Structure 1
Amino acid sequence: MNKKELSMLGFEIVAYSGDARSTLLKLIREAKAGNFANIESSLQEADENLKLAHNAQTQVLAQEAGGDELEIGFIFIHGQDHLMTTVLLRDIAEDFVELYQEKYNRKEE
């Protein structure tokens, strides 16, 4: 895999991670407003995009594990940063939803 191909995979990772990130941030805003109707479908949408980003990442990991010398550029590293922070946001989003659900459940009591 050459540097251009790695850059394209980096862009792919950024795109999928960015879509997941947008979905998760919207989900948190909805939960904050007390709207829990679409939480599961939003989490599934984010998870699908994260899976696609991981698949792109795995192509590179498999090649390197197979002994290929890869010339990693900034775009691929940028993609890795996006993926890592979005995976963390995914975990945090679940915690926020849980906290907001508890908040709204207490208000109803």
Structure 2
Amino acid sequence: MENTALQIILHSGNSKSSSMEAIECARMSDFESADLKMNEAHEELVAAQKYQTKTLKRKEKEDAYNPNLIFVHAQDQLTNAKIQYDLSKELINLYEEIYQIKEFLGNERTYSQQTMKILLVCGQGMSTSLLVQAMYQYAREGDYIESTSFEELPSVIDEYDVLLASPQIRFRIPVIERMIKPRTQIVGLMDMKAYGKLDGQTIYKQAEDLFKKIKH
């Protein structure tokens, strides 16, 4: 009886220790190690439960069976180990969610601190000059927005992050794509309705969305 109780205490203690180590790993954002430690905690918990089951089966076969204090203590340790294991799982999940939120906010913060250089490209460069002014109403401090004609594009293209082609020259986009630098520049087509209405907010949002693709 005492030997069985000691085994329950031993494995229960090991399970609690592994659960606590798993929490510490999660606190350090090492979720792979946290999973390994939780697996260890589960294995130790199962081992303790096997000894418990073995003892309880003995009780069924013996008429006179009075568990001593050390067995009561072992049962208490096993119960605590189970509670610790369940709480550890919840805490690790919370740490992982917090980590993911921080990662998301960190990426958004990094993006928000970056400025964009936007170039609007049209046939002659005249129709986009008014749109540039409309976009500046929604631009962040430090953003630079300019317009140019397709003919003048080769001489200035390297200076910009995002290029937006007007609907009239949509057929030029494949040519522009061959001119830009992959992963550092991107080109898109202006929304036709927004372009016709000189909707600077919508066009600026298009530029933002394209910018995120090359910066994230």
Q: CA-atom RMSD, angstroms? A: 1.2
Which residue of 58, 77, 81 maps to 1:63? 58
Between the aligned partners of 2:78 and 2:39, the Cα distance in structure 1 is 16
- Could you report, residue by residue, the CA deviation over 1:3-56 in whole angstroms, capped at 9, with x for unpaired residues? xxx111111100000011100001111111211121222122111111111111
Whether 2:33 is the aligned partner of 1:38: answer: yes
Aligned-partner Cα distance in 1 for 2:37–2:64: 38
Structure 1 residue 66 displacement after superposition: 2.8
**Higher strand content, 1 or 2:** 2
1:33-83 deviation digits (Å, cap 9, x = unpaired): 211121222122111111111111111111212343222111111110110
Gaps of 5+ in 1: 1-5
Match of 2:42 in 1: 47
Pairing 1:99–2:94 present: yes
Aligned length: 104
Gaps of 5+ in 2: 105-216
Match of residue 90 from structure 1: 85
Query: In structure 2, do the counterparts of structure 1 residues 57 and 64 end up closer, same or farther at CA, with 3 Å as the change threshold?
Result: same
Q: 1:106 deviation in Å?
A: 0.5
Answer yes or no: is the 8 Å Cα contact 2:29–2:99 preserved in 1: yes
Q: Which has the higher contact order (CA 8 A, sep 6+)?
A: 1
Taking the aligned partners of 2:61 and 2:21, their CA distance within structure 1 comes to 39
Percent of aligned positions with the same letter in both sequences?
28
Larger-gyration structure (1/2): 2
